[in-house]
Chains A and B, each alone.
Chain A
């Protein structure tokens, strides 16, 4: 979304994202997909080699993409087991919207219970 505004203003962009699915739906100008947990688009902390591999792939896409909507996936596996990684990126406390959705689901369950 920001990338689209930047392109309109005359800037070339690459979006490095863990959700290329979403980027495709929005119409992102250039997308590099990474199969990494949220909050880690450029890789593991302090892993310079991994971070550089992501950046170099983004630069290559920038230089080679010749049409809007260009998309490429980086073939680099996240080094942590996925169950662990799925937990690790999430906030220690559930976000306000998740809390709200849980409370609403609980309230609905209680209504069903009292109606039964």
Chain B
């Protein structure tokens, strides 16, 4: 069965999404996987707006409350050995309950660590990344923060990234 992208959306939001016009990337950027999954180094990226409490700041939800058409475009670093009780979330468009119970629902660091131990993947990099997915304007992501995080992933010798929009 094909996935119904609108199954869990309220009708008003689904209708809004269907009216949006976007420019499709042409050509679609493409990097072939350089080595087998069992040898590749992985990292994870979520847009669930999570951060490590007492280490980095939450995303700026206060400004978004004042300016509803603005979303904090910055990112946070999530170490692979993060403990569940260190995870905070500042994303005003989703309920945080499930990810505060189990971060693997949005950023499966524990599952990738297991797959590393089993030899299914080569390794999980020390750092994964979190963004806050409400971005009415994606210029900062495309021109600044996206390339910046790409550079840091390369610095940790990452080959492949699993990304999950929230």
Contacts and interface: CB of A to CB of B under 8 A. Distances in A.
A4 B92 contact: no
A91 B146 contact: no
A40 B98 contact: yes
B111 A73 contact: no
B35 to A, nearest CB: 10
Nearest to B98: A45
Query: What secondary structure prevails in chain B residues at the interface with A?
Result: loop
Give the interface size class of chain B: 35 or more
B113 to A, nearest CB: 11
Interface residues of A, number: 71
A18 B106 CA distance: 12
Contacts of B1: 35, 73, 75
Interface in B88-137: 91-96, 98-99, 101-102, 104-106, 108, 111-112, 114-115, 120-121, 131, 134, 136
B83 interface: no
27 contacts: A7-B29, A11-B158, A11-B161, A21-B5, A21-B6, A22-B5, A26-B22, A29-B28, A35-B3, A38-B93, A39-B94, A42-B106, A42-B111, A43-B105, A46-B101, A55-B115, A59-B120, A59-B121, A63-B36, A63-B37, A73-B1, A86-B8, A86-B10, A90-B94, A91-B94, A91-B95, A96-B68
Interface of A: 1-22, 25-29, 33-46, 48, 51-52, 55-56, 58-59, 62-63, 67-69, 73-75, 78, 82, 85-86, 88-93, 95-97, 99-100
